[in-house]
């Protein structure tokens, strides 16, 4: 047991520090049509929109040239906040 905790501590020490995300979200990792990776572009897209880029300029800056990939990013609706309100473990059956 003590050796497993030592391994866990050493693996945590070697792992690179990751910047915390703004919030939890569920965005598709890949474009449904062409398969291009788009999940890593969401935070940058939001940052560009906050910096007063138009949607077109932000998508161009991210290298999303295909309309299928542009659709995936522009039409994404972040539902995770609404879904987290519902806890299925608290559901009580009346029957």
| pTM of this structure | 0.60
Closest CA to 34 of 81, 1, 59, 66: 66
**Nearest Cα to 76, choosing from 36, 42, 37?**
42
Q: How far apart are CA 90 and CA 50, in angstroms?
A: 38
pLDDT-based confidence at 65, cuts 50/70/90?
very high
d(CA 93, CA 89): 11
Q: How many residues does the chain have?
A: 95
> What percent of the chain clears pLDDT 70, i.e. is strictly above it?
67
Give per-residue pLDDT as tens, 70-92: 999 888 887 777 877 887 776 65
In degrees, rounded to 5, the angle at the alpha carbon of residue 28 between the alpha carbons of residues 27 and 31 is: 135
């Amino acid at each position: 047991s003590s050796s497993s905790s030592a391994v866990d501590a050493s693996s945590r020490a070697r792992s690179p520090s990751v910047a915390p995300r703004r919030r939890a979200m569920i965005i598709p990792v890949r474009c449904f049509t062409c398969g291009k990776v788009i999940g890593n572009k969401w935070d940058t897209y939001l940052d560009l929109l906050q910096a007063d880029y138009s949607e077109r300029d932000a998508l161009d800056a991210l290298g999303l040239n295909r309309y299928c990939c542009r659709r995936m990013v522009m039409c994404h609706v972040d539902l995770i906040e609404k879904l987290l309100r519902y806890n299925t473990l608290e559901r009580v059956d009346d029957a």
